Amino acid sequence: MALIWFLLLATGLLVAVVSGNLDGFTRGALDGAAGAVTLALGLVGALALWLGLLRVAEEAGLTDAVARALRPVMQRLFPDVPPDHPAMTAMVLNVSANALGLGNAATPLGLKAMEELQTLNPRRDTATDAMVLFLVINTSSVQLVPATVVAMRAAGGAENPASIVGPTLLATAVSTLVGIAAARLLARTRLGRMPPELA
């Protein structure tokens, strides 16, 4: 991450200098930083609501029931995570919420899953295989209906705004499957090797 972060900044500066657009560079950085705080604080309400409901669901035994139903799939995907671990439940719920397009419910569940995976992590600064696989499944999108895109097409006067739903499902399936394969394969290459322990 350090390398990519620095490359974004350094090439940005290079472009800015060449095109004489230093102001744009500076404004972009400051706007981005301010926007990050707005974004994070904007999450507080939804986070509190869903984490509160999640606690109720946990104590009522609902989350265990969901996790038990999907145990066979999850165990194959995440062999390093004990099947009864709360991380499994949180991951199942996160992916389900994402599939339904409930983004504001999915994020709190996903963050919870990451915290639970962290309890299984022997090196707290370094991602585990399970974390990487879980995040690649998340970044590859598992949403069944791209509601925003359909709405934008409708607003733009498309003949059949929902016509892209089928193609999108297919493309999403391809990206998720390729992502799972890539996470698995890259874990065993130089890219996935454990970095040296920090002193």
Residues between 124 and 163 with contacts to another protein, criterion CB under 8 A:
124-127, 131-132, 135-136, 138-141, 143-150, 152-153, 156-159, 161-163
107, 47 in Cβ contact below 8 A? Answer: yes
Rounded CA gap, 155 and 132, in Å? 37
176 lines the binding site for another protein (CB under 8 A) = yes
C-alpha count within 13 angstroms, C-beta hemisphere, residue 175? 15
Q: Which 99-128 positions form the footprint of another protein (CB under 8 A)?
A: 100-102, 105, 107-108, 110-111, 114-115, 117-118, 121, 124-127
Taking the least distance from each CB to another protein, the nearer of 9 and 73 is 9
* Measured CA angle at 131 (ends 50, 77), to 5 deg: 100
Q: Which stretch binds another protein (CB under 8 A): 39-47, 69-77, 78-86?
A: 39-47
Cα–Cα distance between 142 and 68 in angstroms, integer?
21
Applying the rule CB under 8 A, the residues between 45 and 84 that interact with another protein are 45-62
Residue with tokens 């926007």: 35
- Shortest gap between Cβ of 71 and another protein (angstroms)? 20
One-letter identity of residue 129? D
Task: Give the residue, chosen from 66, 70, 71, 165, that forms a contact with another protein under the rule CB under 8 A.
Answer: 165
Q: Which stretch binds another protein (CB under 8 A): 22-30, 66-74, 77-85?
A: 22-30
Q: How far apart are CA 63 and CA 88, in angstroms?
A: 10
